[in-house]
Structure 1
Amino acid sequence: MRKVTIIGAGPGNPDLLSRAALDAIDIADVVIGAHRALAGIDVPPDVVRCELVKTADIVAALTDAASWQRAVVVMTGDVGLFSGARRLVEALSGNAQVDVRVIPGISSASYLAARLARPWQDWRFASAHGVACDIVAEGERAGELFLVTSGGEDPSRLSGELVQAGFGDARVTVAERLSYPDERIICATASEIAGQTFDDLNVMLIDFAGGAGSPAGSSAASEAPAGASAPAATSSVVDSAGASRAASSRWPYASSGIPDELFIRGDVPMTKQEVRAVALAKLRLTATDTVWDVGAGTGSVSIEAALVARAGSVWAVERNATGVRLIRENADAFGCGNVYAVPGVAPEALAKLPVPDAVFVGGSAGELPSIVEAALEKNSQVRLCVPCVTIETLTEACALLSGSRFKGFEACQVSAARAEAVGSHHLMKAQNPVFLVSARGAGGEGGAR
């Protein structure tokens, strides 16, 4: 079996590559990556070196090169934070002759946090790189936001939008060319950042409660040169449980229950708005959760979950090719870079997924017991929610989730009706009732996880 190793190269300086990453490169037949990702990496002279960025081009290169046995794909940053690794893993997952390994790198977020000498577990994460970012909606949520940008104009433009919305005192840190010799970190207010120009390679950290890189209340900008630390400051926690719902320009609200019409839809089944809102409550998600959405359909539940677990990940398993396409399109439309579309049939497709904190079984195709078993094997304390349309599925779900391997069993019926105009009047039209069965694995505190 041929092996593909996807490597997170870190912010850019090759000195930050891990030992595991260097070992993978040393034994590779071919090394692929963007020009910046490969710059400075010592690739053996007998190894094929390909400068490629797009997933389709990388897959094509691997397909055409019949002679290789060990390929390495180098991604800038970390493979889990707004990385192209997601699409590449999806594209290669259907090839039974290829074994994919992923090696993490130092993300720009963790590197910046180290440079500022402060923790980063309470930050929210968003991207303005090729997707819309409602920075004003982010400001209304308060807390600290780490933002991946798309060019040198973004810090000034986004800071200007904050000023116009009354957030001129927000503390903004702009970090340019992190890890390189000419690295520069600027800490100031949004008002002071607006109008400045920056290197195209930059990220932002915004503290809407004050203190993003400078002492709270300070109005003077400060710069941290390479090799030194910027002033430390207090951090802001979104809430005691760590839950935070990320704003999206398509749905800039903190509440669940996105209207059905905002999703890109086809003939693939979709969990309706009212059912989604209750299901999200039953799953009890936090900002860092790993979520499985099994039988994801159009990905509506995946999107809702991803907006809550913005610092986590959502794995949307779908057997229908049209559904997989819709999941990806909806993830792009809502700016959810943490949604991973997984083509395949459960439970087989679940084997290589990361350990889940929560599982939503939107469709089981008669495999509900096997799906539940797969989730429990990964995490004996996993939280599950199973929507049931038929009495048969309800009976099966209740029997499974009320058993001795679970605790906190709940079952409820969601019966919603929507007003529809009939002439000059409005009549209530009932939606199909859906039962939601939920529970948490009863495994001991020392179990999986």
Structure 2
Amino acid sequence: MSERIHIVGIGDDGLDGLTGQARQLIEDAGILIGNQGLLDKVASEGAEKIVSSGTLEKLKQQILDLPDKPTVLLAGGDPLFYGIARFLTETFGKDRFEVVPHVSSMQLAFARVKESWDDAYLSNLANQPLDRVVDTIRTAERVGLFTTEAISPSVVAAALLDRRIDYFTVYVCENLGTRDETVTQGELKSIAEQTFGPMNVMVLVRRHGAADRPSGSQRRRLFGNPDDLFLQSRPKRGLLTPSEVRCIALSEMDLNHESVVWDVGAGSGALAIEAASIASSGKVFAIEMDAEDYGVMIENSKMFNVPALVPVHGQAPTAWADLPDPDSVFVGGSGRMVPELVAGAAKRLKKGGRIVVNVSSPDNLVAVEAQLKAAGLRSDVRMINIARGQYQLDRVRFDALNPTFLVLGAKE
């Protein structure tokens, strides 16, 4: 490997935007490494130019093969802000490099639109899933995005509108720092209909007073949302797991943000959707065999924007045959197959996992407990009686919901 390498940030304006130190390093370099676009921006006679247009592993090998000459690696903007410097310092050690940053195009973009970026949500769509980025944007005040050719500003705008997130003013900043610099301001709908060049940064600013939800809708909770917030199949209305029961069930499922969850007999998806809000970096497989309920679940999931939710249209146990083993399982229903499904799910449950079964009849309660014990799980049961207050004039009375049982199993 050569002597210490300087990683020099460079902007779209090339040498014109560099400091004297950065220019001198480039002029004195025996070797210049960078993508073809960056190499074309600098004129250094006598320096060997190495194009790094492959993978990170290829770049690593190119650096290992360098002769012992003064070397400058060119990077876009600030090499430590979504740049190559982190990979290199973690791979070879910090003592092998010196970093000379340029103004990041993200910083330039916020300066052009005259917005502070110290508390903004910043992301790079080249290495982050669009669904997760959109989910985080929903609650942000200001957002800065490095887009890609495939995930352009119009694609991002369309994805936001699909999730009913329509309360941002958008700025698309192209070719920052060059003579061709352009800043386009508009609403998401207009941005979704336009085409932009590949060199851009997208800035979103929440309109003053805008809520974290579509206009006219109720506020979404992480869990325990009101029952009437969910669509339900008309003939089966009332079969939705009540919000109070969902809260208890979700707490007993012992979820974390990376949990793998099965909801067997997901119905309209209320519990699965709220589980996916908690296990936001995991997977929640919502298994439902009824076509109508499955369709309702899809519609409900659009209102809540839960990328971790994976709807599965099929009948258990066949439907879970190819799914990953779960950390937690919820089984709901009143049919004769419930105990059999519990027995099958218990076999797939990971060590330390939890299973929660919601049944309404004492017969199923006894049968489910027997299956859990036969599977070697430690079991417990809760009987839940809920009465909700109903106000009439200046008085309150209580309407009782049907009693229900939660049977709990833990795999030691």
Which of residues 102, 107, 115 in structure 2 aligns to 1:105? 102
* Superposed displacement of residue 5, structure 1: 1.0
**Preserved contact between residue 138 and residue 165 of structure 2 (Cα < 8 Å):** no
Aligned 1:246-285 pairs, distance under 5 A: 257-259=256-258
Residues 244-393 of structure 1 mapped to structure 2, 5 A cutoff: 257-259=256-258
Contact 2:109-2:201 within 8 A present in 1 as well: no
Post-superposition Cα deviations, 1:341-393, rounded to whole Å, max 9, x if no partner, equal xxxxxxxxxxxxxxxxxxxxxxxxxxxxxxxxxxxxxxxxxxxxxxxxxxxxx
**Whole-angstrom distance in 1 between the partners of 2:43 and 2:75:** 15
Q: TM-score, normalised by structure 2?
A: 0.50
Aligned to 1:174: 172
Asked if the contact 1:174/1:185 (under 8 Å) is kept, the reply is: yes
Whole-Å Cα distance in 2 between the matches of residues 84 and 108 of structure 1? 15
- The Cα of 1:48 is off from its aligned counterpart by 0.7
Residues 1:86 and 1:50: Cα distance change in structure 2 (over 3 Å)? same
Contact 2:125 2:151 in 1 (8 A): no
* Larger radius of gyration between Structure 1 and Structure 2: 2
Q: Is the 8 A contact 2:110 2:203 kept in 1?
A: no
Partner Cα separation in structure 2 for residue 197 and residue 28 of structure 1: 39
Is 1:117 aligned with 2:114?
Answer: yes
Match of 1:343 in 2: none
Cα distance in 1, alignment partners of residues 110 and 355 from structure 2: 52
Residue 155 to residue 203, structure 1, CA distance change in 2 (3 Å): same
In structure 2, distance between residues paired with 1:11 and 1:200: 12
Q: How does 1:120-135 map to 2 (within 5 A)?
A: 120-134=117-131, 135=133
Q: CA distance change for structure 1 residues 138 and 166 in 2, over 3 Å: closer, same or farther? A: same
The DSSP-based 3-state class of the residue aligned with 2:137 is: helix
* Aligned partner of residue 2 in structure 1, secondary structure: coil
Aligned residues between the structures: 232
In the alignment, is the contact (CA less than 8 A) between 2:120 and 2:140 conserved in 1?
no
Task: Give the percent of matched residue pairs that are identical in Structure 1 and Structure 2.
Answer: 22
Q: Alpha-carbon deviation of 1:17?
A: 1.9
Which residues of structure 2 form unaligned runs of 5+? 210-254, 262-280, 283-307, 309-351, 357-368, 373-378, 380-407
In the TM superposition, what is the alpha-carbon distance from 1:133 to its structure 2 partner? 2.0
Match of 2:390 in 1: none
Moved over 4 A (4+): none
Residues of 1 paired with 2:194 and 2:411: CA distance? 55
Q: 1:210 deviation in Å?
A: 5.0
Structure 1 Cα separation of the partners of residues 62 and 354 of structure 2: 54
Q: Which residue number corresponds to residue 70 of structure 1? A: 70
Summarize the alignment of residues 85-96 of structure 1 with structure 2, pairs less than 5 Å apart: 85-93=85-93
- Is structure 2 residue 22 aligned with structure 1 residue 21? yes
Query: C-alpha displacement at 1:153, in angstroms?
Result: 5.6
Q: CA deviation at 1:130?
A: 4.5
Q: 1:183 aligns with which of 175, 181, 184?
A: 181
Instruction: Select the structure that is richer in helix.
Output: 2
Could you report, residue by residue, the CA deviation over 1:399-419 in whole angstroms, capped at 9, with x for unpaired residues?
xxxxxxxxxxxxxxxxxx753
| Aligned Cα root-mean-square deviation (Å) | 3.3
Q: Displacement of 1:55 after TM fit?
A: 2.8
Q: 2:4 aligns to what SS in structure 1?
A: strand
Amino acid at match of 1:188: G
Letter in 2 for 1:171: T
- CA shift, 1:86, in A, is 1.7
The answer for unaligned runs of 5 or more in structure 1 is 212-255, 263-302, 305-333, 335-416, 431-449
Cα distance, 1:14–1:123 mapped onto 2, change above 3 Å: farther
